[in-house]
Amino acid sequence: MDRKRSVFTFRKRSFLNPTSTGYASYILAEVESSDGGAYQWGNYLVTLADCRRVVQLEFFLGTKQARRIALRKINLLIDVLTRFREALEKEIALIEKGK
């Protein structure tokens, strides 16, 4: 029996706001299968959507240099978002303390 392989090795969509808000903000991350390394031209995307605005970030893996750049790009995004979260936490604490 021939089993059909999954097109994606990773695909995750998460809504960013509670359903009760009515806002359809989400993040969608997709990593297309390279079929064991044989196919390097897949889609590797992160989509961020907030209300009617959508931003799609592409992580091209077709060349050795592009693969290094893609890893640097995602690591930088994670670093900046982590620092942003820490700044938000600090400001939330200050605001809560001030009330």
Domain boundaries along the sequence of the chain: 1-62, 63-99
User: Can you tell me the mean pLDDT for 39-47?
Assistant: 94
In this model, does residue 52 exceed pLDDT 70?
A: yes
Q: How far apart are CA 22 and CA 51, in angstroms?
A: 10
31 neighbors 12 (Cβ within 8 angstroms): no
**DSSP secondary structure letters along 56-73:** EEE---SSHHHHHHHHHH
In this model, does residue 3 exceed pLDDT 60?
A: no
- In this prediction the pTM is 0.84
Q: What percentage of the chain reaches a pLDDT higher than 70?
A: 94
Q: What is the pLDDT of residues 28-38, one digit of tens each?
A: 999 999 999 99
Residue 24: band (very low, low, confident or very high) from pLDDT cuts 50, 70, 90: confident
User: Can you tell me the mean pLDDT for 5-15?
Assistant: 90
